[in-house]
Structure 1
Amino acid sequence: MHMNSAPHLLSEDRADFERILDDVLRNAHDRPDLTSVGERLNTEQLRTMALNATAPITTAAAAEYEHYRKIREESRSPGPSVPVRDSVLEPDASEPTGSGAGLTAVVTVLLPVLGGTAAVIFLLVGYLLKALSRPPAFADSLVAVGWFFGAVTAIGILAAATGLLITALRNSSTQLPAEEPTGGELPDEVARAREAWRHALLERGLLPFLRAALADPSTDPAAPPPRSIKHLPKIGYSRPDFTSPDEGATTGQRPSFTSPDFTSPDFGGPDHPPE
């Protein structure tokens, strides 16, 4: 028993298979060996037959397809990490680090919060005191202090926004571009492997299948795909031939058995000899 296995056509490659098939059928009358398309089998019937026989057709280009898949998977696998400059990962020794940078970040964040809170409190209390019939003398001072903290809050917000903008620009300048190609373009090696597979699929798979289907007058479009097409391997299992134990044996007479002859116990001893 033996088996010829067809390669598993990935779903992303089935579109290529159908595209090549449609192109061949669309330009069938430009090929001398396919000029009979439409006489007995039309393009839609041939397309259905070819789609049902995807496995044997793709087997004809199995080597090219496996090479194409291998090259494509290698191109998609992440490559070795790109070393980043030390100046990006490690700060310069001459620049202040550690607690200085942390203190600056804390002040930048807390200054707008604390300044805004103080401004609201001083302004609220100052204007409430000024609303009295006889406002105290320090009411104007509270209002002035509140406006001062309001200005500090505005300056803190502006400084924080500037710092965020500078950080974003610095990070974008040190970001590494993606290595994988975009826009649907393939690397040269992958493109060559794909083209080799498509060519083998056309010349050794689709065209022989279509020629065999058109040349066979007994081909039924509604029947399962033919399994013995020229230039295409036969897919499936070969059943071993088993013979019956009685097959081929020389037929003779069956053995017969005879029952033993038993004599009647008609004897009377030594005085009576048997009859």
Structure 2
Amino acid sequence: MHMNVAPHLLTEDRAEFERLLDEALRTAHDQPETAPREDRFTNAQLREMALNATALITAAAAVEYDRFLKVREQLRAARAAGVSGTGEALSEEGGAGFVAIVTVLLPILAGTAGVLLLLVGAVLKMLDPPPAFADTLLTAGLIFGAVAAAGLLCAAAGLLVTALRNGATEVPAESEDPELARAREAWGRALTDRGILPFLDEARAAYTPREPSGPRPPTGRIPKVGYTGPDFTSPSEDTPSPRPSFSSPDFTSPDFGGPEHLPE
């Protein structure tokens, strides 16, 4: 899904922008030093990033794009003026409308009348005896047929003259105009060199995988961590600590003598 078209880039030029982007991605993919690796963005990711940054990329070639738009608008205005001038010239010609109507209607009317007269004259000729005006109807039918044929030739000649006149006054198509082609080429070259390629290079350079700073812990178990406090050491895991021993305090009974020590 594409993002909204950038304000500076017209919708009709979106396809040209995407074509230049795809060409840049394909060219970079063909070069080993710039080809995407597994630890970098893929071409699809880079394309999506570039489409989202259309306004930023096209701004790098804004001058060339403005020139291209001016040339295209001038050609369109000239073509519109040429078509309008041709129509006004035809309408100002004396009797042009009447001649066109007569040229179109004369072969139709003359041909229809000639066919009817020939049919009626042929039917009357089959009667016995045929009427005297049967030959007159056949002759009139032939005359109307000749008039219809002449009208068709005049109409064809008029169409040919009109086509040649319009071809002489027609403005060349946009794609065939050399100035427009040069403007489009200059915009495409500037857009690729100053917009698309630098953006893709910066996007590739921005992705740098980080390596771990220390040794990785063993997988499958939690590593043991030893802590020591002040004046304390952790006991050895292999040698059992001796059990504490206690000795009873040394108490001596008071020295009691004989009866001479008893109070009197």
TM-score, normalising length: structure 1: 0.55
* Contiguous gaps of at least 5 residues in structure 1: 1-5, 92-96, 220-275
> How far did 1:78 drift?
2.0
Per mean C-alpha deviation after superposition, the further-off stretch among 206-215 and 146-155 is 146-155
Give the structure 1 partner of residue 205 of structure 2: 215
User: In the TM superposition, what is the alpha-carbon distance from 1:73 to its structure 2 partner?
Assistant: 1.3
Q: 1:170 to 1:44 in 2, by over 3 A?
A: closer
Q: Which has the larger radius of gyration?
A: 2
8 Å CA contact 2:57–2:199 kept in 1: the answer is yes
Given the superposition, is the C-alpha separation of residues 46 and 156 from structure 1 closer, same or farther in structure 2, using an over 3 Å criterion? same
Contact 1:126–1:142 (8 Å) recurs in 2: no
Contact 1:76 1:180 in 2 (8 A): no
Contact 2:106 2:151 in 1 (8 A): no
Q: Rate the CA distance shift 1:172–1:74 in 2: closer, same or farther, 3 A.
A: closer
Give how far 1:72 is off: 1.6
8 Å CA contact retained: 1:116, 1:149? no
Deviation at 1:160, TM superposition (A): 2.4
Tell me the residue number matched to 1:35. Answer: 34
1:2-81 equivalences under 5 Å are 7-28=7-28, 35=34, 37-38=36-37, 39-78=39-78, 81=82
Q: Partner residue of 1:175?
A: 166
Bigger helix share: 2
Q: Which of these residues, 143, 148, 155, is aligned with residue 164 of structure 1?
A: 155
Distance verdict in 2 for CA 1:15–1:186, change over 3 Å: farther
Give the conservation status (yes or no) of the 8 Å contact 1:7–1:55.
yes
Against the structure 1 CA distance between its residues 12 and 150, is the aligned structure 2 distance closer, same or farther, given a 3 Å change threshold? Answer: same
Residues 1:118 and 1:14: Cα distance change in structure 2 (over 3 Å):
closer
Q: Which residue of 1 aligns with 2:242?
A: none
CA distance in 2, matches of 1:153, 1:11: 58
Of 149, 154, 158 in structure 1, the residue corresponding to residue 145 of structure 2 is 154
Distance, in Å, in 2 between the alignment partners of 1:176 and 1:36 is: 51
Deviation at 1:197, TM superposition (A): 1.8
Is the partner of 1:60 in helix, strand or coil?
Answer: helix
Separation (CA, whole Å) in 1 of partners of 2:131 and 2:71? 79
Q: Is the 8 A contact 1:58 1:205 kept in 2?
A: yes
| 189, 196, 205: which one aligns with 2:186 | 196
Q: Deviations over 1:150-205 (max 9, x none)?
A: 332332333322332333334344334321226x33422x2222222222222222
CA RMSD of aligned residues (A): 3.9
1:64 to partner: Cα distance: 2.0
> In the aligned structure 2, how far is the partner of 1:158 from the partner of 1:208?
70
Q: Which residue of 2 is the match for residue 145 of structure 1?
A: 136
CA distance in structure 2 between the aligned counterparts of 1:107 and 1:21, rounded to whole angstroms:
60
Distance in 2, Cα, partners of 1:49 & 1:14: 15
State whether residues 7 and 62 of structure 1, in contact with CA within 8 Å, keep that contact through their aligned partners in structure 2: no
SS state at 1:71 partner: helix
The alignment partner of 1:192 has SS state of helix
Evaluate the alpha carbon distance shift between residue 16 and residue 168 of structure 1 in structure 2; reply closer, same or farther with a 3 A threshold: closer
Q: Distance in 1 between matches of 2:21 and 2:12?
A: 16
SS at match of 2:176: coil
Taking the aligned partners of 1:12 and 1:157, their CA distance within structure 2 comes to 49
Partner AA of 2:159 in structure 1: A
The Cα of 1:110 is off from its aligned counterpart by 5.7
- Checking the alignment, whether the CA contact within 8 Å between 1:119 and 1:145 is kept in structure 2 is no
